[in-house]
Structure 1
């Protein structure tokens, strides 16, 4: 899955921090209480995770912005303090994009299109895989599909130090999250391919359509029985009888009208009504044209606002970068700056107070961004309301046109009728004609029911046939991936290789590693003896558990990149040396990083790694690498919140 992190921007009460992430390897190291883990937690929070609950964040955090490249889109995630929603804005190279407020938990109705209900669905949609659905009951082919959340996938991409030595990716049987975690493993390793997911969704739709149309056909048959018609033939016979009766009444009325002189005084009111209808139709037509023009203008304005949002984001970053430049000459003409008395905090170019400039820039950033968001929300609401209004106006116009058409025919008919001594006979015939006409209209409408019933039953049969075909394709797809045990075997070898290369205690080449295909837990067999097997819970020390977890994650992402499996190509590991110690277990510390850096330079050239640790192991090979030392109270190597002292 093409998902690359680019930059994290954090707005605190008195500072704005920009953290570059667009590297192959990014390492944050230093002393405790410097904000290293908070960086990882805020990345996770922008993707739907929980906001950090440490005192510094509770007191100083305002908002966070995460820039990423997902599929073919540049995406900006914005999360405010205390919010359970994420503002997501995206744009592609062709210029199409949008911005909306995505709830972390799925909304009851779609927030974008007809399949996206929340942030997780939106991320999958932008990645080009569509909202993921897995079958609730794996043994029932007709069981309903439930969403697979991006938060479930993040368990394998973000290894939080709080869980490194306590859970094996939530796969334990007693963990209520284990079914979702197993679904992730099935999907990533090809036991649940995108093709399989697509086929299962198609099967679910065909089964549901078959049920719906079969039930509709049953109800239609009951309706026809209540009308007293058992078949289409009976309805046609009745229709023929009614049409002959209408022809007879028409002849009688024509004979009466031919013997009398016409008088048209009664048609004046009808003409007035027709003129009024014509005026209303013209007004409605003009209103619809104006509404469509305004809708087009608002749609164009929405695109301009989204573009302005990205420009403002880039401008704020440029301001921070250029504000730190020490100028020795005029950037426009090259003239050296004249020496004259300035306060040390004044601007080196113009002499303005530097603090005032910074406050102005921060104020501008804080003011303009919410204004754009509010304006975007107003535009989206206006577009939605105007579309509904246009649909309503079009319906009203259709009704007016139908009324005018009926009045036109009525005027034509009345012009041929007249008040006379035979008025009672004429009115009686007209009542019979109107009644017969309505019955014929109703019967002609109902006469379509038998044909519609046949079509409905045919379509239901087609859905059933399609469902049978899809089941065959599903079986073929499952047979095709039946050799995925070989893929799991490859994962087993990668995990074992990572453990051996990292110096996992008490592990020898005579041991073996096995991954259970049902619960996806990894077990170590000492000397190949299954009776002595143990997994994370039996690994013993917290350090061994931590190493067990990170080696499994590294091996899984190694396999994902090599075989292009559907897993985001980034890994965040918070404290890989937790419970291990870089002094006492220095050999493990060096061995793990040597193994990881070797993979990054060979088979894992696309996967981003963000590592948070107390000590730094500098790569000795050529990598796109950056590190940041963070020490609380150190101005040269400041913590995440430079001014925060913990008071």
Structure 2
């Protein structure tokens, strides 16, 4: 609030009320100036019946139209001049070619060829009146001479006619150019007079109006800025009130959360029950290194489990972070999730009745560790018959361990394999990573044999031999 008052003081007001009064005063002065401007414009229109600009404008428009017509006429004349010039050049070129052809014929007509002018071989004897070279009947040259004279006379007449037309085009272009120069000079003079009249008109009649317009615009701008400042202060106050309400709700929620956390931590019955269920899951699943006498600790606020032997409190603690075996870590986490569902089912807690376990046996071989493999699934099937009868369980793994025949369970089993139409994968468009379509097993045919020779690499061998998505049991 202090910052808002300081900003208002800097602009010359002491409060928001004074700010609103100042904005109203500025807008009132702007309205008065607008009335004065309208009065000045009406007086100017009444005093001036006709201005020099009104007289010069039609003359300038007429000269523009005349210049446009002259430019169009000159463009047409230039096009005709160029067309006739090209025609004249073509006629002169053809006349020259005709003369050269006639001269060559006249020269060759008196030559008696004895050998072919092309291959220089002796010519065979020809009949009288036939050409010595081609053997065709000679054509009389007299009609050709008459035709030549007629053609030359026509060519000369056409050339003279075209030259006369071109000369007239040039004279017309020159006359139009001089006329255009005169009109352009007149237009430039008219435009200069218009500019001068406009300058005199603006300076004599509009200087006062323009000054009032500028003053009015400045007043409106200042009023707009101050009004925006008033809205800004209102928005700041509204935001402060909203922030205060949010902070109050935050403190109340923090207090409630703290009280709920303390109440939950003080009630250790569910925690103790979760410990018992967790150790029961581990022992029933046959997780190596875990016995029923081990101590489970669930420390708030994370409640991550840690296990230590009861007989040796100083030994290493087993937890999510310290467990080293990949297969044992999967069982460790899966059993904790199962224990949580067992506790929620017993306490009727709002936990979804759906348990999904993905690749619990990913790093455990069903051949090398058969007892471990079957023990985990037997524990799940037993719980499904008893405590978790209302919980839907989805298992995704590389191998499928069917429940014993004596267990009355409804199980849906599906095998998924890449590029197999009988057992398609969960994602239909999934393909092998190899560009040529060869599966990892085909690319490394000796992988299974290497896995059998090296039991410690059982997890890698199983990963290569199995499909990415194992069977799913519900």
| Structure with more relative contact order (C-alpha pairs < 8 Å, separation 6 or more) | 1
Higher helix share: 2
Q: TM-score scaled by structure 1? A: 0.34
Q: TM-score scaled by structure 2? A: 0.44
